[in-house]
Amino acid sequence: MRLRLRFASLLFLAAIPAVPALGEETPPEVMEVATKYLNALAGKGSESDKEVLLGGVSMEAGLLQFTRWDISSKDPVRREHGSLATVTRRVRELDKLASHALGNEAGAGGSGDTVEAVTKEQAAKLLKPTQEKALQFQKEFPVLAYVLRMNKEIYWQPANPMRQILAQAGASGAYAVEVYRFIIESSESANPTPRKWPLRVVRFRTDKIDTGWRILTASDWSVE
């Protein structure tokens, strides 16, 4: 059984494309998801089109709207694959450190070696004591750390969808993650001054789950 699982993981990793050249075209399915979401925010599509958000429509995303949008620029795609066992171990180490850092507040924010729910103020207190572990994670898994919002307050937000998905993925096998990041320039009729903000289209895959292409929404704690 172990040999079968290992072989399946190797096949999964082999199917993941290598990091592309800077000039690689954005896949049509990625552009379709981004356009569908942006049009919904601009009132040109259906409210149901906001359901492409990873983890569902957050409070911030529900209130966001504008009348005009344009893609100002885009970054080269970022891809990564690795071991779920190693990632899970690193996350548990980070959670254990955070739970201990909360001290007497752990009753509200954590239990034992896990962090279940914290306030924005508590999350801010966790950044310094967990910084070394978070930076280590970022060096080992830079793309996954980016999607998880590692080393930022919102990493600890209870509604962080990627933490929930990572937990569902389990601690065995391999994972693959891809990120397309666009800079959007939008404006509102009441305030014609253009605003620039990042839009991320992500996909996370394991032997068990596949999110499909989804919008990584800004947190209610931060537009970034």
Strands 195-206 and 110-111: unpaired
CA distance 208 to 205: 8
Widest CA span in the chain: 62
Residue 224 inside a domain? The answer is no
Q: Would you say residue 222 lies in a domain?
A: no
Together in a domain, 205 and 135: no
Same domain as 162, residue 90: yes
Q: How far apart are CA 219 and CA 224, in angstroms?
A: 7
Tell me the two tokens of residue 27: 């896949």
Same domain, residue pair 183 and 200? yes
Q: Of the candidates 12, 37, 17, which has an alpha carbon nearest to the alpha carbon of residue 201?
A: 37
Digit-coded pLDDT (tens) for 156-198: 676 788 988 999 999 999 999 999 999 999 888 777 788 888 9
| Predicted local confidence at residue 122, as pLDDT | 66
Tokens of residue 92, six digits: 């548990």
What pLDDT does residue 117 have? 60
Please indicate, yes or no, whether residues 159 and 190 belong to a single structural domain of this protein. no
Domain count of the fold of the chain: 2
Q: Do 118 and 192 fall within a single domain?
A: no
Half-sphere exposure of 11 (CA within 13 A, CB side): 7
- For 98-151, what is each residue's pLDDT tens digit? 777 666 444 433 444 455 566 666 656 665 667 788 888 999 999 999 999 887
The CATH number for 179's domain is: 3.10.450
Structure tokens at 48: 């149901």
| Domain ranges, residue 193 | 2-80+174-216
Q: What's the confidence (pLDDT) of residue 93? A: 87
